[in-house]
Amino acid sequence: MALHVGLFLLAGVFALLYALIVQRYRYWKIRNIPTLPASFPLGNFGALRRRSPAEVSTELYRQMDPKERFYGLFITLKPAIMVTDLDLIKTVLIKDFNYFPDHGIYRNERVDPISAHLFCLEGAKWKSVRSKLSPTFTSGRMKAMFPVLHEVAGNFRQYLQTQLTAEPTELDLKDCCARMMIDNIGGCAFGIECNSFREPNSAFRRTGQLVFDSPRYSALATSVLTLYPAIGHALGLKMHHDEVIEFFTELVRDTIAMRERSATKRNDLLEIMLELKSATEAGLTMDELTAQAFGFFLAGYETSSSNITFCLYELALNEECQERARACVLEALRKHGGMTYEAIADMEYLDRCINETLRKYPPLPVLHRLSCKPYRLPGTDVILPAKTKLLIPVYAIQRDERYYPDPERFDPDRFAPEEVAKRHFSTFLSFGEGPRICIGQGLGVMQSRVGLATLLANFRFRPGPTTPIPLVYAKNALTLQNNGPVQTLRKYPPLPVLHRLSCKPYRLPGTDVILPAKTKLLIPVYAIQRDERYYPDPERFDPDRFAPEEVAKRHFSTFLSFGEGPRICFGQRLGVMQSRVGLATLLANFRFRPGPTTPIPLVYAKNALTLQNNGPVRLLVEPL
């Protein structure tokens, strides 16, 4: 009898739980918000166990009615909203930034002080640190960092020359580009010569591999932790491996101590932050300084490395584009008398190639925003509560044929000025947008320019026997990465989806829907930047899409690879500069072609939060 009663009670508990779950998944339907079917326990994101965030967000994006401006989704049992309307994306990232100022990413300063870097900070703390770091990325600072990037690119060229024979040689360019970025960041951020080409297993390199290749948690687990931070705080969960925390804590502490003893001053990020630390009482504490130095490493290492790798991969598959880029590089070098800061700023077609790469491979496939107060969805009566997650599917938008015809085609001329002018602002968000746009964007692009220019001026690149075609994205990576070596920002935005979290109720413009505070808002950057409505033939790599006249044609929100608004990538300029330096160096010295094992198309890593290829990308490299 007791057994029967126990079974009856257990059945009753399960029935109640089932009813609560079913009711929870009716959250958006009750509010007359369009939604997609969700299933327990992972909501609409169960596929993250098998596929990358870029692919999952794009699949969701393509299931949505293009006439709808947003869709209600679920991350586990938490309601989130994915915004697909370009005007609404711009509104959320810029005009209504005060409702969605935060990324809503888990951090725990108490046990993991380096987790409190700029990307994860929220509210007044983020605003304070961002304002202190902004002087780091002025054009004058970028120019001062250029000699480091130039020297590292030269070391890269010499290394490649030692690896090549008279015949085309297959090299893992993903590994090579990662070494270059380690040396760039070591020099620009910490004033350290890492010598990764001579010492591939240096402590700096091993730590970078641990952060990006073996993260403490999968992308899915990180998402769950972000949604339920109280659990993480109660259990004292760290975001990073103990070895990573110890390495950066000791690195910053020891470097500062050495400089204080010797009164040494260097023109690097750490020196600038030290000046901030001692300038006023409101300067950075040692823990804050360490966290921001780590954030600089995070932003500059993988994103620029992947950008150069993806660009070389596309140029290897598109030899005509490669020859045009090389001609652009060589003409700039001739005009300015060599690899100078002015020369890399005068490589217009190379910039188109970088932007088209960012379109196809945005570093963050999805931008995340978290509401800090209730927000009425424009044009509705729906109010999103505070702490609602908002997603912007950057990867999907930048591969939407409505914006980029034939979106899988690599076509740099999409970024010719007249083409850019035709598109909406929000069709290119590879660096984000608004106040939270990538702060190091300029340095990142400069790294890519220098690296690519150096390589293209000295080598040719073709796909090799093992080049993966298509690429496979890493499923556990935080940024968009190839899942393995690549032998070689519209197509590959670093964050495939932008996340925002509402901090107060927000009325969705043009509706009566009010999102409550704490509603997650998703902006599918990857999907938008591959939407053929904005980029015809979006899979084609076409740098001329970013010619000024082409950019002017598109909506603001069709390119969000760095995010947008006040939370646009803080290091956007640094990231761009790194890409410029790296790509310029490579394109000036080498030719790249696909090889027999080059992945075509790329396959994304399924567990990565940022867009990454799933495996090596091998290209044939020829010296010029």
**Binding-site annotation: residue ranges for heme:** 438
Q: What whole-number distance in Å separates Cα of residue 598 and Cα of residue 353?
A: 19
Q: Residue-wise over 57-95: b if at least 16 C-beta within 10 A, else e?
A: bbebbbebeeeebbbbbbbbbbbbbbbbbbbbbbbbbbe
CA angle centred on 493, ends 487 and 496, rounded to 5°: 115
Helices (H), 426-544: 441-456, 525-528
What residue type is 375 in one-letter code? Y
For the chain, the C-alpha Rg in angstroms (whole number) is 23
- How many angstroms separate the first and last alpha carbons of the chain? 86
* Residue among 152, 158, 230, 228 at smallest CA distance from 187: 152
With the C-alpha atoms ordered 296, 429, 576, 621, is the resulting torsion angle positive or negative? positive
What residue type is 138 in one-letter code? T
The CB density around residue 619, as the number of other CB atoms within 10 Å, is 35
DSSP, collapsed to helix, strand or coil, labels residue 350 as helix
Q: What is the largest CA-CA distance in the chain?
A: 93
HEC string of 358-383 equals HHHCCCECEEEEEEEECEECCEEEEE
Are the C-beta atoms of residues 583 and 308 closer than 8 Å to each other? yes
| CA distances to 115, 322, 418, 525, 555 from 413, in Å | 39, 13, 9, 20, 17
DSSP, collapsed to helix, strand or coil, labels residue 198 as coil
Helices 203-213, 286-317: crossing angle, 10 deg rounding: 80
* Residue among 588, 571, 586 at smallest CA distance from 303: 571
Q: Which two tokens stand for residue 277?
A: 């630390």
The DSSP-derived string for 257-289 is: HHHHHHT---SSHHHHHHHHHHHSTTS--HHHH
Residue tagged 């009663």 (tokens)? 5
Q: What whole-number distance in Å separates Cα of residue 257 and Cα of residue 251?
A: 10
Sort 183 into a burial class: Cβ within 10 Å, 0-12 / 13-18 / 19+: buried
Q: Which two tokens stand for residue 582?
A: 């790296």
Q: Where is 254: in which H helix or E strand?
A: helix 242-262
Residue tagged 């004058």 (tokens)? 140
Q: Cis peptide leading into 470, omega within 30 of 0?
A: yes
What residue type is 381 in one-letter code? D
Q: What whole-number distance in Å separates Cα of residue 617 and Cα of residue 595?
A: 9
